[in-house]
Structures are given as C-alpha cells and as structure tokens.
Structure 1
Amino acid sequence: MRIAVFGANGPTGRHLTEQALAIGHEVVAVTRRPGSLRTRPGLTVAVADATDPEAVDAAVDGTDAVLSALGTQFSKETITTYSASATAITRAMARHGIKRLLTVSSSIADPDWRPSGAHFFNLVLDPLVNRRLGRTLHEDMRRMEAAIRRTNLDWTLVRPSGLFEHPTVTDFHTAGTSADGVFTARADLAASMLRELEERRYVRTAMGVITDAVRPNIAKLIWNEGVKKK
C-alpha cells in the first residue's frame, strides 16, 4: 500500500515511517523540513505545510491512505494546526477519491476519559497539564475531530494517552472511544495505526491506545515532553 504520513519527521511520525517501510508499505513522508529525512527505497519525501491546500493536494495524490501524526506544542494562544490541517487533508482526499484516514488525536478528546486507579494523574496532572496548560491545544484537537467526523471518509481518530519514547513495540492494547490507561509509547501508537490500517476494526470511530508493559519515569516524561521542548 502507498500511504502518506503527515508529520513524518515528528516523534510519532518517525516511528510510523520506519515501521511502515519495514512491513513493505510505500511511504510518502510529508514534512516541512525534508533535510531531516534520509531517503531510501520505498520512501518519497513530499515538502508541504499541512495547512496549505495546494501542497497537501499534491502530497496525497496517488496514495491509498493517509496517516496523520501532526503535533504542536502547548501555547496560551489559540492553536489551529490540527483543525486547519484536517480540513486541508480531508478535502484533498475527497478530491482524489482516497477514503482511508487515521489521525492522531488524544484521550483528552473524550470528556469521560478518567483512567482507573490513577489518582495522582486524575487529581493533579490531568487538571494542571492537560486541562489548563494544554487547553488551547486540546480545544483544537476537538475541532479537528469534529471536522473529520463530518466527512464521508473511512476515518479513525487515534487517541493515545501520555506519550513517551520506548525503542520497541510492546503488547499494547486498544479500545473503542478511549482506552483505560495513562501512558502510550510512540512505537505502540505507530504500530496500532498500521495494524488498524489493515484490520479496520475502528472505522468511523475513535480508537484508544494504551501501553501497559512499560512505564515512563514521570519526572523525565514531564521534562522531555514539556520543559525541554520549549
């Protein structure tokens, strides 16, 4: 299958690209920074801003499916990256007759998501980090989800929890709407998207993804995903 990966040079996009190539897919890696990706057999690099309709149209032309791992940092200002890119991508897909779309969102997009037994997370980290510091980001994720739901595409909204780096894929689990757990390894997130691309268990609905086999160091996670990225 020939797939377009948006955000291909990002933390999750790199896992997606590598794993997709490893299992035999052709990958169109869509990025604004082409120099950050190493060319190799099966990989085509497309330079595009995901919010630019013309650039997105050219990037998805000739592909069979689109996987988006776009992301941005927390900000006090209004964020539009997710919703604007979703609009550009879905319209381009409709023009080219491409039906399958998998887009990374977040468990936070589910208003009822509260991982069981995670008292410190539910009472402290989630209200402070996700609901306050990440408020504008998650508001735009919800706008993105709403825009995708209005389309006639075969979409899946992929909802990880707290993302962290782990070198290998683990025995992750998925569930409809959102999954019961606090953390998701990026390698597992990528693997879940590629598995769903083949299995189509969550078409036109949301899929939660959780990593149970390993857990990150909380202090290191906050530093790497919050402070260091600034």
Structure 2
Amino acid sequence: MRTVIFGATGPTGRHLTAQALAAGHQVTAVTRRPGSIQPRAGLTVITADVANPDAVERAVAGGDAVLSSLGVPLSPKPITVYSLGNANIVAAMHRHGVKRLVTVSSSVMDPMWRPTGAFFFNNIMDPLVNRRLGRTAHEDMRRMEALVRDSDLDWTLARPSGLFDHPTVTRYHVEDNVADGLFTARADLAASMVAQLTDDRFIRRAMAVITTEVRPSIAGLIWREAVAKKK
C-alpha cells in the first residue's frame, strides 16, 4: 500500500515510518526536515509544510492511505497545527480520491477519561497540565476531530494517553473512544496506526491506545514532554 505519513520525522512519525516500511508498505514521508530521514528501499521523502495546501496536495497525490502524527509541544499560546494541517490533508485526500486516514488525537478528548488508580494524575496533574498548559492544544484537537468526523473519509482518530518513548512494540491495548490507562508508548501508538491500514475495526471511530506492560515516571514524562521540549 502506498502510505503517506505526515509528521514523519517527529517522535511518533519515526516509528510510523519504520514500522510501515517493515510491514511492506511503500512510504512517502512528509517532513519539513528531509535531512533527518535516512534513505532506504521503499521510501520517498517529500519536503512540505502542512500549512501549505498546495504542498500537502502534492504529497497526497498517488497515495492509497494517509497516517498523520502531527503534533507540537504544549503551550499556552494559540495552536492551529492540528486543525489546519488536517484540514489541508482532508481537502487533498478528497481531491485525489484517497479514502483512508488515521490521525493522532488524544485521550483527553473523551470527558470520561479518568485512569483507574491514578489519583495524583486525575486530581492534580490533569487539571494543571492537560486542562491549563495544554488547553490551546486540546482546543485545536477538538476542532481537528470535528472536521475529520465531518468528512466522508474512512477515518480513524487515534487517541493515545500520556506519550513516552520505548524502543519496541509491546502488547498494547485498544478500545473504542477511551481506554482505562495512563500511558502510551510511541512505538505502540505507531503499531496501532499501521495496523489500521489493513483493518476496518475502527473505521469512522475513535481508537484509544494504551500501554500496560511498561510505564514511565510521571515526573520524568512531564519534564520531557512539557518542559524540556521547549528548550
């Protein structure tokens, strides 16, 4: 399958690219930093900014499916990359007749997401980090989810919980809309998305993805994701 990956050089996008190639897909990696992707068989690299609709259209042309792992660090400043980027992707897919879209959102989008046994997170970190520091990002994710749902594409919204790095894929767990878990390894998120290229279970549905076999420390996760990435 000819698979177009947006955000291919990001933390999740690197896993997506490697796993899609390993699964035998022909991959078009879309990035603003082409030098960070090593050439290999089955891989085409396109330089494009998702804010540029013409560049996005050129990237999507000839594809069979699109995986998007667009994302930015949490910030109190206005954020539009999720909604604007996915709006351009959806428009390009319509123009070129590409139907399958899997795009990253967040477990925060479901108001029922309250991981069991996570008192500190649910009562302190979630209000401070997700509802305050991450407010603008999550507002834009809601706009993105709405426009994707309104399209006539075969879409899937991939909803991870707190993302962290782990080198290998684990026996991750997926559920409709929301899952009872606090963390998601990026390798597992990527694996769940690549799996959707040949699986119709979550077409036109949200897919929550959680990792249960390994977990990071909350303090370390907050530092890496909300603080260190700003530097």
* TM class, shorter-length: over 0.9
- Tell me how many residue pairs correspond in the alignment: 230
Q: Secondary structure at 1:166's aligned position in 2? A: coil
Once the two structures are TM-superposed, the CA of residue 219 in structure 1 deviates from its matched residue by 2.1
- Provide TM-score, normalisation by structure 2: 0.98
Percent of aligned positions with the same letter in both sequences?
65
**Per-residue displacement from partner, 1:157-204 (whole Å, max 9, x unpaired)?**
000000000000000000001111000000000000111221111110
Aligned to 1:171: 171
1:84 is matched with 84
Check whether the contact 2:73–2:225 (CA below 8 A) recurs between aligned residues: no
Matches within 5 A, 1:85-164: 85-164=85-164
Moved over 4 A (4+): none
Distance 1:175 1:135 in 2: 24
User: Residue deviations 1:104-162, cap 9 Å, x none?
Assistant: 00001112211122111100111111011000000000000001011000000000000
Query: 2:209 aligns to what SS in structure 1?
Result: strand
Is residue 6 of structure 2 the alignment partner of residue 6 of structure 1? yes
Aligned to 2:54: 54
Task: Find the counterpart in structure 2 of residue 39 from structure 1.
Answer: 39
Q: Deviations over 1:16-42 (max 9, x none)?
A: 000111111111000011111111110
Deviation at 1:225, TM superposition (A): 1.1
TM-score where L is the length of structure 1: 0.98
Once the two structures are TM-superposed, the CA of residue 5 in structure 1 deviates from its matched residue by 0.4
Q: 2:26 corresponds to which residue?
A: 26
Q: Structure 1 regions of 5+ residues with no counterpart?
A: none
Secondary structure in 2 aligned to 1:5?
Answer: strand
Partner of 2:212: 212
d(CA) in 1 for partners of 2:113, 2:67: 24
Matches for 1:194-213 after TM superposition, within 5 Å: 194-213=194-213
- Three-state SS of the structure 1 residue aligned to 2:229 is coil
User: What letter is aligned with 1:33?
Assistant: R
Give SS of 1:115's match.
Answer: coil
Letter of the structure 2 residue corresponding to residue 147 of structure 1: L
Matched letter for residue 87 of structure 2: T
SS for the counterpart of 1:29 is strand
For residues 216 and 76 of structure 2, the distance between their equivalents in structure 1, rounded to whole angstroms, comes to 27
Q: By how many angstroms is 1:226 displaced?
A: 1.5
